Structure 1
Amino acid sequence: MRAILATAAIALLTAAVVGAPQAWAHEQAFDQVSPPTMEERQTELQAAPSGTAKCVNGLAAGTYACDGIDMLDHLWLEDLGLSFANDMWGWTDPATQKDYAIIGGTEGTVFVDISNPTDATVVGMLPAHVLDPNRPFWRDIKVYGNHAFVVSEQIPHGMQVFDLTRLRTETGTFTEDAHYPGFANAHNLNINPGTGLAYVVGTNTCAGGLHMVDVSAPESPTFAGCFSEHGYIHDTQCVVYSGPDADYAGREICFNSNAASDGNFVSIVDVTDKSAPVPIARMPYAESGYSHQGWLTPNQRYFLHGDELDELDHGINTRTRIWDMADLDNPQHIGTFDNDTTSIDHNIYTERRLAYASNYTSGLRVYHTGKIGEGTLKEVAYFDVYPENDNPSFEGGTWSNYGWFKRDVIGVSTMDRGLFVLKLRN
């Protein structure tokens, strides 16, 4: 199988981000990319391996640098029906126990059955609600109540709702089951499974802050509230709080990567009352570039945070900041973990005592959090999906990952090489 990185799509993205509004201003660095020619990419990718490959002597299939992670399967962009891939999420069918990877891309959202992890199979695609050639085409997906919710920077995309149980009996090109038009465009969303509230960020509403949507009845989403006081929020995680700060026990709290016009922050907001959200804290940090994304540890004590432009702006190695959230009114930045690579970090998620980081050109990196209280992490495994280099650039590599599948595998989405299905040893 072969795949083609659509240079035309990259050129479109490059043109779109020049002079872009703040909702995706951080992606202006794509303008620095000089992608290979179509012929160069075809030659390279036709020779590259697919399928199952163990990590042997630091390489999988003689191509991908690795340590402690095997490749179970790989679907190229062409297999997915996409010209460019970006974010991903996952779903395990509660009735059939099948695992599905959900991949966002230029043309829409692709559903892949990975129940047999060595034989990933595309089930179908939900096309974009609208394809706007003048806007970036990345999209973000989250799942609640056996439904997928999809947002995009395109206008007027709004939020698509798709009933995932249809994957049991249907294949091919799907239609959306519902649509929420309360905003024209969005960069991202998070859904709190404990409350059925979606928190959409980077929209053309709420000053780019938290646009709250009640999705507890998934096919009847309704506006619930707005938080604009901190300005533009690039990503968020909202939880029913059960962490160490007793003052906020049982409250609904959002932990935000806040890249605003007045600086870069980690901000915390109490959104229990959707009509009157209460800001709790807003913390700046040194050597910032663009506050991008973060995720709590399972006990909600620590927040792992990434800045998407600090590697470019400050010449540092791949950096993850560690915040102690024992006191939500006064969170403390207790340390930074600088990996031995130079790539830009993008999305990080935690599961048990591990953190799975998608770092563009250096691939999936797995960190152990055993010494997180000391302000440090330890890399224990990796799989480099972009063997060309580890440049601090947006030229290729992994956008995101999902590690909560029933079968204990890790899905990794990449901009230029599609979907990897990986397995962490031990």
Structure 2
Amino acid sequence: MKKLPSAVLFVLLIFSCSNNDDGPVPEMVPNTPDSGGTPTTSFEPCENGMAGDYPCDGYDLLGQISLSSFNATSGNDCWGWTDSTTGREYALMGLDNGTAFVDISDEGNLVYLGKLPTATQSSTWRDIKVYNDHAFIVSEAPGHGMQVFDLTRLRDVSNPPETFTADFRYDEFGNAHNIVINEETGFAYAVGTDTFDGGGHFVDLQDPDNPVSADGYSASGYTHDAQVVTYNGPDADYAGSEIFIGANENNVVLVDVTDKENASQIASLQYGNRGYTHQGWFTEDQRYFILGDELDELNFGLNSRTLIFDFTDLDAPVLHHTYIGPTSAIDHNGYVKGNEFFLANYTAGMRVLDISGIEGKSISEIGFFDTFPSSSVTDFSGVWSVYPYFESGKIVMSDTDRGLFVVRKSN
């Protein structure tokens, strides 16, 4: 029998196990979109705890574009690209019906350049990553495959917003929940696909205009999200190896994928109060792995919980510390930049954590920007993802209901 996508399995699980037929499910269709006011907003400083309509601490609003401006019903993932030739910065935002490209170079003047429509049909789930000036886009839409878009085309948009076409469509899988790329090796790892039992589907991107299948890995089961790195952390046994860290619904798996045809599991780990093992990211020294569980707040009544694992010994990782946030909002995607962890926290917006004291189990919130000002209810509305890697300090957030936000730390 064909393996159902993870999201469908969870719908079946929750509806079969819950007495409340109206209860929320992970990453399901968000609430009716709310443009949050005018379709496009410009600079609003964070003053007295507010940036325009939005609660904030230490982050100014540089601009916002609503879903209605994108002609979309819901938002999902986001990523970013910096043109190394021109220095201009671009936000890439996933929508139910395609992918939007926005020039964010000029503060307070976001320019919506256009949209790449979905390859088949609309879907709540879309994911984007960038390698070698190309965007690689997957979706849970049936038969979607992986769209490839040459981002250098954004330099020459004369009449925005345009409707773009893909430069290539990889069709060795149909639906996929996510895609991760190791930019050091030029390999992509599509996960949650309809191949390899939902495990990693490997794609060689070294010629980005002509991706080539490079085998896959199924032995650890379905992977919802992952990070893949060329390892240079403290475990000398794996120095230089390519390591896949998968969030596999009810556990974390570490897999050596150096030899694409002979990938092998290194370790698997679990933890208490597991709801849905969702997504995680290494600290820059690759000693600690910071993990979010998407359903622990909903299932166990916890405040936002972030788990920190010590990966000093990849064969025997251990739970190092647990950080509990100030609200009951559900945590989603999180990324590390330097000594800060940027967490997409759904109805609590983006939360920024200081992780400089992570070894001593000292983690604290040092800022936030809340795109969902009405509440921090335990629900699947608000910030889905965050991209904090622009050299300018700009940070992109994708909100399921209110569209694209660009913020930056206040002066």
1:294 aligns with 2:302: no
1:418 to 398, 403, 410: 403
Partner of 2:153: 166
CA distance in 1, matches of 2:279, 2:32: 32
1:230 to 216, 220, 235: 220
Conserved 8 A contact 1:113-1:122: yes
1:198 to 182, 185, 188: 188
Sort the Cα spacing of 1:221 and 1:27 in 2 relative to 1 into closer, same or farther, 3 A. farther
2:348 to 354, 362, 365: 362
CA distance in 2, matches of 1:159, 1:49: 30
CA distance in 2, matches of 1:398, 1:35: 11
1:306 aligns with 2:292: yes
Conserved 8 A contact 1:23-1:203: no
Moved more, 75-84 or 321-330: 75-84
Paired letter, 2:297? E
Partner of 2:369: 383
More helix per residue: 1
SS of residue matched to 1:362: coil
**Matches of residues 296-375 of structure 1 in structure 2 within 5 Å?**
296-375=282-361
CA distance in 1, matches of 2:351, 2:251: 24
Conserved 8 A contact 1:99-1:406: no
CA distance in 2, matches of 1:122, 1:49: 10
CA distance in 1, matches of 2:60, 2:37: 21
Conserved 8 A contact 2:382-2:402: yes
Give the drift of 1:111.
0.3
Q: Structure 2: 5+ residue runs without aligned partners?
A: 15-20
Give the drift of 1:35.
7.6
1:100 aligns with 2:100: no
2:6 to 9, 22, 33: 22
Moved more, 178-187 or 26-35: 26-35
Give the drift of 1:52.
1.3
Paired letter, 1:368? D
CA distance in 2, matches of 1:246, 1:48: 52
Give the drift of 1:375.
3.0
Moved more, 46-55 or 81-90: 46-55
CA distance in 2, matches of 1:221, 1:373: 40
Partner of 1:266: 252
CA distance in 2, matches of 1:425, 1:230: 44
SS of residue matched to 2:194: coil
Partner of 1:115: 105
Conserved 8 A contact 2:232-2:239: yes
Give the drift of 1:137.
3.0
Partner of 1:78: 68
Paired letter, 2:404? L
Sort the Cα spacing of 1:138 and 1:233 in 2 relative to 1 into closer, same or farther, 3 A. same
2:175 to 175, 185, 188: 185
Partner of 1:90: 80
Q: Structure 1: 5+ residue runs without aligned partners?
A: 1-18
CA distance in 1, matches of 2:85, 2:57: 35
Give the drift of 1:47.
7.6
CA distance in 2, matches of 1:64, 1:111: 24
Partner of 1:126: 116
**Matches of residues 241-256 of structure 1 in structure 2 within 5 Å?**
241-256=231-246
Sort the Cα spacing of 1:334 and 1:190 in 2 relative to 1 into closer, same or farther, 3 A. same
Sort the Cα spacing of 1:124 and 1:401 in 2 relative to 1 into closer, same or farther, 3 A. same
Paired letter, 1:107? N
Conserved 8 A contact 1:151-1:187: yes
Aligned residues: 395
Paired letter, 1:98? R
Give the drift of 1:107.
1.4
1:213 aligns with 2:203: yes
Paired letter, 1:22? S
Paired letter, 2:82? T
Partner of 2:17: none
Conserved 8 A contact 1:117-1:421: no
Moved more, 385-394 or 158-167: 385-394
C-alpha RMSD of the superposition: 2.1
Deviations 1:212-249 (A, max 9, x none): 00011111111112111110111110011011111000
Give the drift of 1:356.
0.4
CA distance in 2, matches of 1:363, 1:91: 22
CA distance in 2, matches of 1:393, 1:416: 12
SS of residue matched to 1:167: helix
Conserved 8 A contact 1:115-1:407: no
Sort the Cα spacing of 1:227 and 1:159 in 2 relative to 1 into closer, same or farther, 3 A. same
Deviations 1:235-294 (A, max 9, x none): 1100110111110000000111111xxxx1111000000000011000011001000000
Paired letter, 1:153? E
TM-score (normalised: structure 2): 0.92
Deviations 1:293-348 (A, max 9, x none): 00011111111000000000111000100011111000111111000110000000
CA distance in 2, matches of 1:402, 1:27: 28
Partner of 1:142: 129
1:53 aligns with 2:44: yes
Sort the Cα spacing of 1:220 and 1:295 in 2 relative to 1 into closer, same or farther, 3 A. same
Deviations 1:352-373 (A, max 9, x none): 1101000000000000111111
Sort the Cα spacing of 1:231 and 1:35 in 2 relative to 1 into closer, same or farther, 3 A. closer
Give the drift of 1:36.
6.9
CA distance in 1, matches of 2:4, 2:297: 21
1:285 aligns with 2:271: yes
1:403 to 383, 388, 396: 388
Sort the Cα spacing of 1:366 and 1:26 in 2 relative to 1 into closer, same or farther, 3 A. farther
